[in-house]
Structure 1
């Protein structure tokens, strides 16, 4: 993702941040996604998929509460600009909301819900979803 953000930097949004400080925050949230969001989201997806077979009740993902608190202060993860940090969350959130139909985990958190509505309705993400569904 970083490669493409740099390669196509002049063709759209500045996804890595305009300043060293903004870039640092983008990198921080990319690391948060990789180490703190992705593992629990993956586990949540597996849990939801196999919970009924195992007779286990699904638990909401507590990490989303941290995201909700963060986004009570900023529009996007790295600040008030859309970045690679936000993009990195789209695939798993798409899966949680639309594939395993656990959108309530997002919708019951005011700030995460607003963020999700914003990033998931971007024309570029809609295009990705269209390409994903298109036959090869």
Structure 2
């Protein structure tokens, strides 16, 4: 029996939750290993051996160690092509290129403003950090421009990379979840008909519901 892969980090982390959703979609056994970031466990020498930047997640599969959530997700899909959702990372070069294209859009265009908003609106209040209204305004404007492009795209296809749910959509789940459910900026998504339809579909997947349940567990 195969040894479960190991994921280090808290499910509340957007990057960790991205990897967890991928593992569940692919039906790959995993062991979630807590990392207490408040106590600085992610900066200790033993952790830095597997994640040299001292961030989460860190990922181990037997003797292989990886970091960066999107790279980990691609690895999982490539290593386990016949497990779970077989089309999660495409079934031919053209579909895979389309998925990569929208994953790049997520990483470079969607993630920077959405991450800034998640921190300012969802995490800063919990951490008793003063919110920066200038940063909020600037990134809200950036995100609106991105979502206008998504609105057009999602009027042409059911999902970002085509008519099947893929890693491109999955990568958007963590930040969007916080913005829709833990801030007062959910209308950025719900006010756009196609984006709202897309969000409703991807957030209702069993894999993501399981991740959300994991986030609720102390």
TM-score by structure 1 length? Answer: 0.87
- 1:121-132 aligned at under 5 Å gives the runs 121-132=204-215
> Are residues 1:96 and 2:179 paired?
yes
Paired residues, what number?
A: 134
User: CA offsets, 1:91-134, max 9 Å, x none?
Assistant: 00001111223211110000100000000000111011112222
Residues of 2 paired with 1:68 and 1:80: CA distance? 15
Q: Which has the higher strand share?
A: 2
Residues of 2 paired with 1:83 and 1:55: CA distance? 34
SS in 1 for 2:78: helix
Structure 1 gap segments, 5+ residues each = none
Q: What's the counterpart of residue 108 of structure 1?
A: 191
Q: What's the counterpart of residue 168 of structure 2?
A: 85
Q: Is the 8 Å Cα contact of residues 5 and 84 (structure 1) preserved in structure 2?
A: no
Q: Which has the higher helix share?
A: 1
User: CA offsets, 1:44-92, max 9 Å, x none?
Assistant: 3345467x85565744532111111111101111000111111100000
Q: What's the counterpart of residue 34 of structure 1?
A: 107
2:98 to 9, 12, 25: 25
Structure 2 gap segments, 5+ residues each = 1-72, 125-129
Q: What's the counterpart of residue 7 of structure 1?
A: 79
Residues of 1 paired with 2:133 and 2:100: CA distance? 39
1:7 CA drift (Å): 2.8
- Residues 53 and 120 of structure 1, relative CA distance in 2, 3 Å threshold: closer
TM-score by structure 2 length? Answer: 0.56
1:64 to 117, 123, 147: 147
Residues of 2 paired with 1:55 and 1:92: CA distance? 19
